[in-house]
Amino acid sequence: MRLENKVALITGGTSGIGEAAAELFAREGAKVAITGRNETRGHAVMARILESGGRTIFLRTDVRKAAECQRAVDETLRSFGRLDILFNNAGVFFPQTALECSEEEWDLQIDINLKGTFLMSKYALGPMIAQSGGVIINNSSGWGIVGGDKAVAYCASKGGVVLLTKAMAVDHGRQGIRVNCICPGDVDTPMLPEDARMRGLDWKTYLTGCENRPLGRIGTVDEIAKAVLFLASDDSSFMTGAALVVDGGGTAD
């Protein structure tokens, strides 16, 4: 077990990549606090982890709100006594050009994807530094490295996440904190069919587009969770400030 005695806090842990990471981390021995805005889904994930013998809590949290981020960290410490791993995973996406994106939709994507990463890190860093070590993993995107069509706010937020990752790595490396991000390509999460629906494309056409990459398929949430596990574990002890691209070769060309 690669995360024995570790405590992890995962935002957006109620579905998709966050849910897969929560279950994998628990299997690897970590105690896992998961946050999300949907209580029903959160309790379902929690129940599954508890059933298989893991330890977990669900914390209803809106990562746009500083007080709620602070409370999520406090509750994790109260329940499990420490915090070793923060996976900033909560994210939303609306397919829009700058002309189509309303100010509210811009704020929503930037605040959840980018500001939420800042706020959660801000409150998690204190206890991590106090225990003289910790790991932060941020969920960026292939579209945090290259641009994509109809994705202005998302690309801006994810590009921001890549450089926020590097800046925090520079600031806190000497305090024993490693900060890295992952850049997934298209993955079988609820975000994908939702994107197809919002773009008005039928699923089959949309999926064919997604599969157009060297490995000829989309990724699974488990494949992304394994990348997060690598960055969370001591196997990556010399890695910080890196952007780990997990995209079936989608950004190789």
Partner 1 sequence: MQLAGRVATITGGASGIGRATALLFAREGAAIALADLKTDAGQRVVDEIVQAGGRAFFESADVTQSADCQRLVERTIREFGRIDILFNNAGIIRRATVLDLSEEDWDRVMAVNVKSIYLLSREVIPYMQKAGSGTIINTASGWGLTGGARAAVYCASKGAVVLLTKAMAIDHGPRKIRVNCICPGDTDTGMLREEARQLGESNSSFLAESVKRPLGRVGTPEEIAQAALYLASDASSFVTGTALVVDGGGLAGSV
Residues acting as catalytic residues: 154
Which of 172, 189, 200, 204 touches partner 1 (CB under 8 A)?
A: 172
Q: Shortest Cβ distance from residue 130 to partner 1 (Å)?
A: 19
Q: Shortest Cβ distance from residue 219 to partner 1 (Å)?
A: 4
End-to-end Cα spacing for the chain: 36
44 versus 163: smaller Cβ distance to partner 1: 163
Asked whether the beta carbons of 24 and 49 are under 8 A apart, the reply is no
Helix (H) or strand (E) run with residue 137 in it: strand 134-139
Q: Applying CB under 8 A, does 67 fall inside the site for partner 1?
A: no
Q: Shortest Cβ distance from residue 218 to partner 1 (Å)?
A: 9
Size of the site for partner 1 (CB under 8 A): 41
Q: Applying CB under 8 A, does 50 fall inside the site for partner 1?
A: no
For the record, the structure tokens of 225 come out as: 């969770």
Closest CA to 15 of 43, 51, 55, 50: 43
Q: Shortest Cβ distance from residue 59 to partner 1 (Å)?
A: 28
Q: Shortest Cβ distance from residue 168 to partner 1 (Å)?
A: 9
Q: Applying CB under 8 A, does 159 fall inside the site for partner 1?
A: no
Asked whether the beta carbons of 178 and 169 are under 8 A apart, the reply is yes
For the record, the structure tokens of 170 come out as: 């520079």
Site for partner 1 in 206-225 (CB under 8 A): 213-216, 219-220, 223-224
Cβ contacts of 168 within 8 Å, gap of 6 or more: 121, 136, 177, 179
**What is the distance between the alpha carbons of residues 157 and 201, in angstroms, rounded to a whole number?**
24
Report residue 246: phi and psi, to 5°.
Answer: -130, 85
Asked whether the beta carbons of 214 and 252 are under 8 A apart, the reply is yes
Find residue 59's DSSP bridge partners: 35
173 versus 190: smaller Cβ distance to partner 1: 173
Which of 18, 185, 196, 210 touches partner 1 (CB under 8 A)?
A: 185
131 versus 251: smaller Cβ distance to partner 1: 251
Which of 40, 52, 132, 237 touches partner 1 (CB under 8 A)?
A: 237
Q: Applying CB under 8 A, does 29 fall inside the site for partner 1?
A: no
**What is the distance between the alpha carbons of residues 89 and 12, in angstroms, rounded to a whole number?**
6
**What is the distance between the alpha carbons of residues 19 and 13, in angstroms, rounded to a whole number?**
5
Stretch binding partner 1 (CB under 8 A), from 46-54, 107-115, 159-167, 201-209: 159-167
Residues that bind partner 1 in the complex, under the rule CB under 8 A: 165-167, 169-170, 172-174, 178, 185, 187, 213-216, 219-220, 223-224, 226-227, 229-230, 235-249, 251-253
